[in-house]
Structure 1
Amino acid sequence: MSGDIGLWGVPLAILGGAIRVSTPFLFVSLGECVTEKSGRINLGLEGTLVFGAMAGYGASYLSGSPWIGVLAAGLAGVLFGTLHGLLCSLKGVNDIAVGIALMLLGTGLAFFFGKPFIQPAAPMLPAIDLGFWTASPQLASALQINPLFLIGIAAAFALAFVFKRTKIGLVLRMVGDSADAARAMGYDIARVRVLATAFGGFMAGIGGAYLSLYYPGSWNEGISSGQGLIAVALVIFARWNPVACLVAALIFGGAGALGPALQSVGISQGYYLFYAAPYVLTLLILVLTSSPRGALDGAPRELSITK
């Protein structure tokens, strides 16, 4: 077994791959963490992610600026999140059913409006080159970090601070844990949840823009591969903690980078099986960290999955 970077480069390749692969999971899971803290679950994030990828790519192509594409993707996510929040505010409407419907709607609209953007090349997001010191193309590629990843890290710690130290976080947690108590305090439950769901959509849209404008860096109908739904599972695994969402996203991203890293040193037998590693790892972690009593520790009590 031989390769260009040697066995010593495998951990570095996995780290670089983890950063690239984990970024959309990070944004979507952080947004869903805020949504679920308000007592609402949004299973439509897959559709929001795909539509955000299309909107971001299209806006980048039409405007010539990838950052305008990121903004357009975020605004598209706000649109879907607000629609989800408003529909779920209606009496007798189930948020899980609405989420599934919007997932199908977002995916269908993305495929329909995105057809003209499959071939054209849009401007891509820049990368921060931390591998300027090496002459190895593999190492240089592994050490490239997108600014959105750094923004995602900052967002994780900022949200953790907001949840614990600010009035906004207190109100959000109160609405998610006891709607009756929040209502007695004079807070508008529906308004808080619509805003939280809109924020979740915004973050999912940015995650979609990362997919189309950086990694893998193109627009096509199979760009998401279920990442929106997986991010919802990561929130549960992270016990509704934003910093833990960052760790969970990196773990999943590292597992996703395992196959390409091993192939880079000449291990190609069973290559496609390595692509199952993230899903196997996620399932294994969820099984090992769950129990009949503690499976939903930390879950907002107003969530549908806790009732």
Structure 2
Amino acid sequence: MTEDLGIWAVPVAMLGGAIRVSTPFLFVSLGECLTERSGRINLGLEGTLVFGAMAGYAIAFESGSAWIGVVAAALAGAVFGLFHGWLCRFKGVNDIAMGIALMLLGLGLAFFFGKPYIQPVAPDLPAISFGWWSEIPQIRAALEVNALFIVGILLAFAMAWMFRNAALGLRIRVVGDSADAARAIGLSPNRVRLWSTAAGGAFAGVAGAYLSLYYPGSWNEGLSSGQGLMAVALVIFARWNPVMCLFAALLFGAAGALGPALQTVGFTSGYYLFFAAPYVLTLVLLIFTSSPGKAMEGAPGELSITK
């Protein structure tokens, strides 16, 4: 029996949206957090995400396995990250400009190679139902959680622990804060940044696979809606803290679900304006984090935007 939740349908829908919409934000922001902690910015993650979405969808369709598609998307993203990291090691190469160039490259390649896969239907990633205890369909739908969301939560806490306690995380932090100090203790900043950028690209590829293989669950050229770029603002807002990236991603996800949530309760007057909520939130956060005294609080010292 379908029950009318009334106004409570809005927070329930926003809860489900926060879980579904936040997952790609979470993976891209964690990847960018890792990359920036090593002292490099990768603005090309939008292109990496879209190419990962295409690669994951294509391989899932050809292989018949959504999880093989996720692995393929991660590998595709890692290749983009390696390419970005390799190019940025040369003297005089600006990582911001190179990121923009690779974003355009990734988008172009995805659109070119993805045309044959717009119509075919690839297998979807499975969901885990945490709403089994309720007989209300809206609650059961809101609490259907993809396994990648759970993986993202675990990654956020694992990365936070790594940066505080693990030797690998401490090496990344040293390289990100001072290349000279890293060289003094025998580390190669270029090598650390190369592999950090590759790992960040792999995370973005997984985010793309989530979009094409689960939500919304199809491949088309307008799939991303700028989520790769918004994730860069999200990392700054989260102060380069992986756990804060998780909460910021949930905030962005809830904002993205606001428009559809209002539709569920019959709000028809200008509800479509609320679809712009994530972009407005990005602008507000950029203004907030650009205020004097807060702009670079907690930023790695080697980032090009801090110099």
Check whether TM > 0.5: yes
Q: Is the 8 A contact 1:153 1:246 kept in 2?
A: yes
Aligned residue number for residue 199 of structure 1: 199
Displacement after TM superposition at 1:291 (Å): 2.4
Q: Counterpart amino acid of 1:69? A: G
Per the alignment, residue 270 of structure 2 pairs with 270
Give the conservation status (yes or no) of the 8 Å contact 1:4–1:265.
no
2:226 partner letter: G
Alpha carbons of structure 1 residues 289 and 190: separation in structure 2 relative to 1, 3 Å? closer
Q: Which residue of 1 aligns with 2:179?
A: 179
Aligned pairs for 1:252-271 within 5 A: 252-271=252-271
Q: Deviations over 1:156-210 (max 9, x none)?
A: 0000000000111111011011000101111111100000000000000000000
* Conserved 8 A contact 2:236-2:289: no
2:14·2:261 contact (CA, 8 Å) conserved in 1? yes
Residue by residue over 1:88-129, the C-alpha shift from the partner in whole angstroms, topping out at 9 and shown as x without a partner, is: 011111111110110001000000110111000000000011
The one-letter amino acid of 2:74's match is: G
Which is worse superposed, 158-167 or 286-295?
286-295
Aligned counterparts, 1:88-167, within 5 A: 88-167=88-167
Contact 1:4 1:264 in 2 (8 A): no
Cα distance 1:239–1:281, how it changes in 2: closer, same or farther (>3 A)?
Answer: same
1:22-33 equivalent positions in 2, closer than 5 A: 22-33=22-33
What are the ranges of 5 or more consecutive residues in structure 2 without an aligned counterpart? none
TM-score (normalizing by structure 1): 0.97
Aligned-residue offset at 1:138: 2.5
The amino acid of 1:283's aligned partner reads L
Q: How many residues align?
A: 305
Aligned equivalents of 1:289, 1:119: Cα separation in 2: 42
Partners of 2:253 and 2:216 in 1: CA distance: 13
Contact 2:233-2:285 at 8 Å conserved across structures: no
Distance in 2, Cα, partners of 1:134 & 1:154: 26
User: Structure 2: how far apart are the matches of 1:27 and 1:119?
Assistant: 27
- 5+ long unaligned stretches in structure 1: none
Partner of 1:14: 14
Query: 1:234 aligns to what?
Result: 234
Deviation at 1:132, TM superposition (A): 2.4
8 Å CA contact 2:48, 2:80 repeated in 1: yes
Letter in 1 for 2:49: L
Counterpart residue identity of residue 246, structure 2: L
Alpha-carbon separation, structure 2, partners of 1:133 and 1:9: 18
Q: How does 1:276-295 map to 2 (within 5 A)?
A: 276-295=276-295
C-alpha contact (below 8 Å) 2:25/2:207 kept by paired residues: yes
Question: 1:55–1:72: 8 Å Cα contact kept in structure 2?
Answer: yes
Instruction: Tell me the secondary structure at the aligned position of residue 114 of structure 1.
Output: helix
Instruction: Tell me, yes or no, if the aligned pair for 2:124 and 2:217 is still in contact at 8 Å.
Output: yes
Amino acid of the structure 2 residue aligned with 1:56? G
1:290 Cα deviation after fit: 4.5
The corresponding residue for 1:56 is 56
Equivalent in the alignment of 2:76: 76
Aligned residue identity for 1:233: A
CA displacement at 1:219 relative to structure 2: 0.1
Q: Distance in 1 between matches of 2:133 and 2:9?
A: 15
Q: Whole-Å Cα distance in 1 between the matches of residues 112 and 282 of structure 2? A: 32
SS in 2 for 1:172: helix
Query: Which whole-Å CA distance do the structure 1 matches of 2:50 and 2:285 have between them?
Result: 27
Query: Which residue pairs with 1:220 in the alignment?
Result: 220
Amino acid at match of 1:295: A
Take 1:262 and 1:5, find their aligned partners in 2: how far apart are those partners? Answer: 13
For 1:238 and 1:140, locate their aligned partners in 2 and report how far apart those are by CA, in whole Å.
31
CA distance in 1, matches of 2:135, 2:58: 35
| 2:37 equivalent in structure 1 | 37
CA contact (8 A) 1:5 1:264 kept: no
In structure 1, C-alpha distance between the alignment counterparts of 2:120 and 2:289, rounded to whole Å? 45
**Paired residue type of 1:266:** G
2: CA distance, partners of 1:289 / 1:104:
27
Q: Output the aligned Cα RMSD.
A: 1.2
> Taking structure 2 as the reference length, what is the TM-score of the superposition?
0.97
Distance, in Å, in 1 between the alignment partners of 2:45 and 2:227 is 9
What SS does the corresponding residue of 1:128 show, helix, strand or coil? strand
Map Cα deviations across residues 16-47 of structure 1 (whole Å, 9 max, x no partner): 10110000000000000000000000000000
